[in-house]
Copies of this chain bind each other. A is one copy, B any other.
Amino acid sequence: MVINAMEKIMKDLFSEYEHKLQMKCTCESCKEDVLAMVLNKVQPKYVTNEEKVMYIKAGYVDKQEMTTLLVKLIECAKLVSDNPYCKTGKKAEVDQSSTV
C-alpha cells in the first residue's frame, strides 16, 4: 500500500478552512475538484504505511510550510468557485447570465 501523505494533510487543511474559503458552491464535486487541483500543485509525499503519514503530517507544524499550502488551497478554491464544473454551479451561472 502506498499513500500520499499530502492527501491527508490537504483534506484536513480543507476541512479546517472550508468555511473561510467562501466558495459559491461547496458540493462534493466542487470540493473534490479543489482537492485534485491543489494536490497536483504540491510535491507528493508517498509513504508505505499509515503511521508514516502521521509522521509526515507532524513535520508540517512549521508555520511557513503550512502557510504555503494554505495559499495554494485558497487559489484552487477560487479557481473552482469562479469556474464551477458541477451541475449546481453551472445552473447558477446560467441563471445569473439570463438575469443580466
Interface set, chain A 15-72, CB cutoff 8 A to B: 29, 32-33, 35-37, 39-40, 43-48
B residues within 8 A CB of A48? Answer: 29, 32-33, 36
A7 in complex: contacting residue of B2, B32, B35, CB < 8 Å? B2
**Least Cβ distance of A9 to chain B in Å?**
13
Copies of this chain in its oligomeric complex? 2
Is residue A1 within 8 Å, beta carbon to beta carbon, of the partner chain? Answer: yes
> What are 16 A-B interface contacts by the 8 Å CB criterion?
A2-B32, A2-B35, A4-B4, A4-B44, A29-B48, A32-B48, A33-B48, A36-B46, A37-B46, A39-B44, A39-B46, A40-B43, A40-B44, A40-B45, A40-B46, A44-B44
